[in-house]
Structure 1
Amino acid sequence: MSQAVGVKVDRLDAIRSHLYANGFSTIQALADAIGASLATVRRDLQILEQEGAIDRVHGGARIAEGSSVEVAFQEREKRHLSAKRAIATAAYDLLHPRTAIFLDAGTTVLQLARLVRINPMPLRIFTNGLTVAQEFLNIPNLEVVLLGGQLRSENASLVGPQAEAMLETLWFDQLFLGASAISSDGAIYSVDSAEASLNRRMLARSANRFVLADSSKFGTTATYKVAPLDTAKVITDSGLSRHWRDELVNFGVDATIADLRAKE
């Protein structure tokens, strides 16, 4: 890839990231955000519109209808990264050698997988996440099993009846589960019905259950209910509001608050 092409790809990524984070933006706001001229931004928006990634609207652009339902995995992975790493560190401290654990396909759980890769211990690891499984290539002392099933590209995960049937034959000492949203009703929600169904089976097949959710997930909602939050212990970050800390107590949820300052 030539340098010019690489710069163009980086610019397109920057525009997508800005629109994901900010919603509708004017062309001027995009130009200011990525440090490009108005003419360059207009050309880039035309390319992104042709790809179906964005919709052009008067004076600016927004993510295309349907694309905003769930942000692409690579984009979500970058969000609240310090919080996710702090949560992953707290979760890593709970691991026990020579046990069977399940790691789901969430981006916070991915950070835990990266810690296991850096500091491996003898574990049997099961996952439905392609990106998670890739972290463990050629790592000693790990037995890694990837669930079969239907590929869900938005989350780089495997879901569906085959994955659920495989779970019915397994039992895990620990489950580390991500969450799309934690609603004010005290429940975990997902943006995808198949993912929600598989998450419920994970919870049912695990002795010790942990939900890894950064503080931005609290007080939000998604379409498909997974389970009440008190089905698991919660690991979140110190950015969690006082209101939600009190709510976790009210819901009877055992919570670990990871200190963000340790990751700054």
Structure 2
Amino acid sequence: MSQAGGMKPERLDAIRSHLYANGFSTIQQLADSIGASLATVRRDLQILEREGAIDRVHGGAQIAEGSSVELAFQERAKRNLSAKRAIATTAYELLSPRTAIFLDAGTTVFQLARLIRINPLPLRIFTNGLTVAQEFLNIPNLDVVLLGGQLRSENASLVGPQAEAMLETIWFDQLFLGASAISPDAAIYSVDSAEASLNRCMLSRSAHRFLLADASKFGTMATYKVAPLAETQVITDANLTAQWRNQLGELGVKATIVSAGVEA
């Protein structure tokens, strides 16, 4: 049965989800998975390839490495999970009771939020992440403030002029920031202009600024520049290449390299 035109977004989502969950898949496997014809899948793959979401290889497709098209938050949160948890554990050890911190909406920062939920400290926490804020429901000793603003569904975050105006009245002891990409020119990038702008505001309002980014983010590109990497202290995992370790040293960027456990 042919697919209705209105079903295209659902098919594209289904293809992305299948490729994320199963890795490289043939066109036939994708067609069987989503219940579409081979010709329909080929057309959909062309669209996803133009968007940068997938790579066409060897008679099939796979999720693009360093893609600037964001997957759903829940799917992205699963990527490099052991590395993200190790990075979050190191970040947690930097927290001091009775201080003000900002947690952005990134998936690695989300793992830090989970640690705070499990082992609460008396903290004043500000965030623009809906999933981050939800971790703190009914947790004692936490004073949690969620920024207002425009909802950005792709990252379950709040952005825009209202959020930026709120930041201008607040000062944080520590900022924990994620990144869509860390480019070869050693700058932090985002796939969204409003999020990049808000991230710049976060950096300007924080005494100590930590970038939580697993090694897969290094050497990738996204569209909107946030700031030079040198404006932050980096916490990443042991998969970081020797070239990047040397580059961070040459830039004078303080970097903590953590060992990750076996991927669950």
Q: Same fold (TM over 0.5)?
A: yes
Query: Residue 200 of structure 1: SS of its match in structure 2?
Result: helix
TM superposition score normalised by structure 2: 0.82
Which structure 2 residues correspond to residues 87-106 of structure 1 after superposition, within 5 A?
A: 87-106=87-106
Root-mean-square deviation (CA, aligned residues, Å) is 2.6
CA shift, 1:62, in A, is 6.7
Q: Distance in 2 between matches of 1:195 and 1:21?
A: 27
3-state SS of the aligned residue for 1:253? Answer: coil
**Aligned match of 1:57 in 42, 51, 54?**
42
Paired amino acid for 1:175? L
Q: Could you report, residue by residue, the CA deviation over 1:103-139 in whole angstroms, capped at 9, with x for unpaired residues?
A: 0000000000000000001000000000000000000
CA drift of 1:197 comes to: 0.2
For normalisation by structure 1, the TM-score amounts to 0.82
The answer to whether residue 189 in structure 2 is matched with residue 197 in structure 1 is no
CA distance in 2, matches of 1:57, 1:262: 36
Which runs of structure 2 are paired with 1:78-227 in the superposition (5 Å)?
Answer: 78-227=78-227
**Structure 1 position 251, deviation (Å):** 1.4
Which residue of the partner structure matches residue 232 of structure 1? 232
Separation in 1 of the partners of 2:145 and 2:26?
46
Deviation at 1:260, TM superposition (A): 1.1
**Distance of aligned partners of 1:106 and 1:242 in 2 relative to their CA distance in 1, 3 Å threshold:** same
- List gaps (5 residues or longer) in structure 1: 1-11, 31-37, 47-54
For the pair 1:249 / 2:249, whether they are aligned, the reply is yes
Structure 2: 5+ residue stretches without partners: 1-11, 54-68
Q: CA deviation at 1:13?
A: 8.4
Please give the alpha-carbon distance, in whole angstroms, between the structure 1 residues aligned to 2:106 and 2:253: 21
Identity of aligned residues (%): 74
Change (3 A) 1:94 1:80: same
CA distance in 1, matches of 2:238, 2:159: 32
Q: Matches of 1:258 and 1:214 in 2, distance apart?
A: 10
Pair 144,80 (structure 1): closer, same or farther in 2 beyond 3 Å: same
> Is the contact made by 2:181 and 2:221 (CA closer than 8 Å) also made in structure 1?
yes
Decide whether aligned partners of structure 1 residues 187 and 67 sit closer, same or farther in structure 2, where only a CA change above 3 A counts. Answer: closer
Q: Is the 1:23–1:63 Cα contact (8 Å) retained in structure 2? A: no
Identify if the C-alpha distance between structure 1 residues 197 and 24 changes in structure 2 by more than 3 Å, giving closer, same or farther: same
The alpha-carbon deviation at position 19 of structure 1 amounts to 2.5
Question: How many equivalent residue pairs?
Answer: 236
Q: Distance in 1 between matches of 2:95 and 2:115?
A: 11
Which secondary structure state, in structure 2, belongs to the residue aligned with residue 57 of structure 1? helix
Letter of the 1:74 counterpart? Q
